Amino acid sequence: MRRILIITDSGRWTAEAEYVLAVAEAEVAVGTDVVLAVPHGSFCAAGLPGRPWRAREADPERLRIFELPGRTPRRSLSDLFANVRCLSALLRGERFDAVHSSGSSAHMVAVLAVGRRAPILHLRGTARKPRGHAANRFLYRRMTTAVIVPSARIRAWVIETLRVPPDRVHRILLPVADDHFTEHLADGSLRAEFGIEPGAPVIVNVARLAPVKGHVVLVRAMAGVARQIPDARLLLVGEPWCGEPEGLRALARELDIEDAVVFAGRREDVARILVEAAVCVCSSIGSEENSRAVSEYMAAGRPVVATRVGVIPELVEDGASGLLVEPGDSEGLARAVVAVLEDRGLAERMGREGKRLARERVSVESFAERLGQALGEIRGGATSAAASARASEGA
């Protein structure tokens, strides 16, 4: 039985935290015993925002939360070294086949506490470009066994900026839990809740209402959609952010589409919402190095219209499982949405292909296969290195 230690320094929700928590759940789902070490008071102990740990509910013995004493290791050296001492004590009593770190201070804690006792696989899920100074290059190249990243762009950054050999940088897309692939039936209750008429096409967007998610562009695009398909409704699912949704409501009134835009707020029943979607949209103007929303759209078998940012072009095959447009292009976004809404055959084909690609690329099984390949290469490399060392000694 494989045992993994995962160390994170996330005290709040970020895309990087989302990646590491999804990795933890995927590890558990494929039968790995996981110890997740989190900062004192971290939200990570409860799971992803909006829902508890599925893994702990399904198999509580396989996922153990280990709370570290330091609350802010990113800002406090005393907290960082307290976490090092705590993990060193844990490692004296328990054996792990590998250690994942997530976050810069967690990476350092892993190197100091683990040393050479287990392979260190750093999970770099952040959309920030790494700093290429000498200390960072030493940490990644000399003290880290491999780097796991969720997108090709981050992989290129690690290779080019930190000079990590390409064979030690593995791209593994954000895994999506099995229940997102489950077929759900629409019962009409969601439409009744939001006052959406039966038969009206529903356009769904799932994202926090942050500027980078491009909601202003999407609402402007909705004005163009409404001119051609007057009964269409845009359902925005996401928690308030940066003063929104007030500004978006005002924009909808200005464009005379107030009745066509529905604000659902943060929801825990996203799978139920996706069932009602005629098309799902991601209008982000940046970031999206994980894009859990797009992966979930595809897993649910929904056609996707999305912008060419981050990992999205690696997920969506333009013209096959969805349509891609340039970020910030509200007119292009409107044309793509209308094209899907007006061609039911196209929408159904895209939904089927998206689901197939999601199973192939972002399912728990595909994650386990790719991580297994990475671990196998690490073990193979270690074996080759040891053999070379023995040959050198005997020469």
**138-183 pLDDT, tens digit each:** 999 999 999 999 999 999 999 999 999 999 999 999 988 777 778 7
Same domain, 377 and 262: no
The residue type found at 339 is A
Which tops the pLDDT comparison, 391 or 198?
198
* Distance separating alpha carbons of residues 395 and 212, to the nearest angstrom: 60
Q: What percent of the chain has a predicted confidence (pLDDT) above 70?
A: 92
What separation in angstroms does the CA of 159 have from each of 124, 139, 168, 315?
12, 13, 9, 22
Using one digit for the tens of pLDDT, what is the confidence trace for 271-301?
A: 889 999 999 999 999 989 999 999 999 999 9
Same domain, 196 and 335: yes
Q: Say which residues have a Cβ less than 8 Å from residue 71's Cβ, sequence separation at least 6.
A: 11, 39, 40, 41, 79
Same domain, 255 and 332: yes
Same domain, 319 and 200: yes
Domain count, the chain: 2
Output the DSSP codes for 108-126.
HHHHHHHTTSS-EEEE---
CA angle (5, 10, 12) in 5-degree steps: 140
Using one digit for the tens of pLDDT, what is the confidence trace for 11-47?
A: 777 778 888 888 888 888 888 999 999 988 877 766 5
Same domain, 312 and 376: no
Contact between residue 26 and residue 175 where contact means Cβ atoms under 8 Å apart? yes
Predicted TM-score (pTM) of this structure: 0.87
Q: Say which residues have a Cβ less than 8 Å from residue 373's Cβ, sequence separation at least 6.
A: 170
120-129, 150-159, 312-321, 379-388: range with lowest mean pLDDT: 379-388
Q: What percent of the chain has a predicted confidence (pLDDT) above 90?
A: 70
* Distance separating alpha carbons of residues 282 and 303, to the nearest angstrom: 11
Does the pLDDT at position 204 exceed 50?
yes
Same domain, 158 and 245: no
Same domain, 108 and 160: yes
Same domain, 46 and 157: yes
Using one digit for the tens of pLDDT, what is the confidence trace for 341-359?
A: 999 999 999 999 999 999 9
What separation in angstroms does the CA of 305 have from each of 72, 239, 251?
39, 21, 22
Same domain, 190 and 73: no
- CATH number for the domain including 373? 3.40.50.2000
Same domain, 207 and 237: yes
Same domain, 148 and 250: no
Mean pLDDT of 80-90: 96
Structural domain of 310: 178-361
Same domain, 80 and 111: yes
* Distance separating alpha carbons of residues 169 and 159, to the nearest angstrom: 7
The residue type found at 294 is V
The token pair that represents 13 in the structure block? 């929700």
